[in-house]
Structure 1
Amino acid sequence: MNTEAIEKALIEIIKKRSELNQLSYEDEKYDETEDALHDLEDDFVDDHGDTLEDILSDVHDDLCPDIDVLSPLSYIAQQYVQTGENAMGPEYDVTFDQGVFVEVDDYLGKPTKLVIIPNPLRIILNIDRQNRELVWSKETKKQ
């Protein structure tokens, strides 16, 4: 699995979403930026969708087997926080409110959400304001 290619594509989407979020609907660059974002997202699904769906299926099987796996795009946060930089590029994290709602038996009544974060590539389960779990990473993936 080429996680570096997935991460690079994901970082491009994050940067383009951030750029789009800075524009108002009236801005002349809005439509062009939105189209560019959709092209990046389409390429991401075409190039990496099957791989990410397999990973997400494993995560769902472990945590929330009754919840259907969505498109990998759904697990990309709307907003990321840049926490640093390394040789791969910007390092990111997310706030507790980002991700796709999933119902996890171990955390019934909690607003649990799954989210993909790049650099390093990982999937986090946001449990609540103070708690989260690393549920998959390129370092811990099943061989």
Structure 2
Amino acid sequence: MDTTAIDKALIEIIEKRNQLNALSYEDESYDDIEDELHDLEDDFIDEHGETLEDIIGDVHEDFSVDTDVLSPLSYIAQSYIKTGDNEVGAQFDCDHGQGVPVEVDDLERKPTKLVIIPNPLRIILNVDSKNRKIVWQNS
């Protein structure tokens, strides 16, 4: 698995989303940037979708998640915080409220969410507003 390629593709999507989020609907470049974002997302799924779906499926199985595995695009946070840079590109994190809501048997009463974070590529289980756990990362 080429996690560097996945990281780079995720970073492109994140940066394009950030660019789009900074615009209003009335901005004349909004539609073009939105189309570019959709193209990046389509390419991402074509190139890495199956691999990530398998990884997310394994996480669901390992943590007894009772919800269905969704498209990997669903697990990309709506907003990220840039934490630095390295040779791959920008490094990111996200707040604990980000991710796809999931039901974890051992954490029934917690508002748990799964989210993909790039560079280094990992999947985080946001347990609540203060707790999180890395549930998968490239070894």
Interval containing the TM-score (normalised by the shorter chain): over 0.9
Structure 2, unaligned stretches of length 5 or more?
none
Alignment of 1:1-143 (within 5 A): 1-139=1-139
* Alpha-carbon distance in structure 2 between the residues aligned to 1:110 and 1:66: 14
Structure 1, unaligned stretches of length 5 or more?
none
* Alpha-carbon distance in structure 1 between the residues aligned to 2:9 and 2:97: 23
Task: Using the TM superposition, give the Cα deviation of residue 64 of structure 1 relative to its aligned residue in structure 2, in angstroms.
Answer: 3.2
**Other structure's SS at 2:23 match:** coil
Question: What is the count of residue pairs matched by the alignment?
Answer: 139
**Other structure's SS at 2:82 match:** strand
What is the identity, as a one-letter code, of the residue corresponding to 2:104? Answer: V
Q: Write the deviation string for residues 86-111 of structure 1: whole angstroms up to 9, x where unpaired.
A: 11111100001100000011111111
**Other structure's SS at 2:135 match:** strand
> Any runs of at least 4 consecutive aligned residues in structure 1 with deviations exceeding 6 A, and if so which?
none
TM-score normalised by the chain length of structure 2? 0.98
**Other structure's SS at 1:133 match:** strand
RMSD, aligned α-carbons: 0.8
- Report if aligned partners of 1:98, 1:115 keep a CA contact under 8 Å in 2: yes
TM-score normalised by the chain length of structure 1? 0.95
- Report if aligned partners of 2:66, 2:102 keep a CA contact under 8 Å in 1: no
* Alpha-carbon distance in structure 1 between the residues aligned to 2:2 and 2:85: 20
Task: Using the TM superposition, give the Cα deviation of residue 67 of structure 1 relative to its aligned residue in structure 2, in angstroms.
Answer: 1.5
- Report if aligned partners of 2:112, 2:126 keep a CA contact under 8 Å in 1: yes
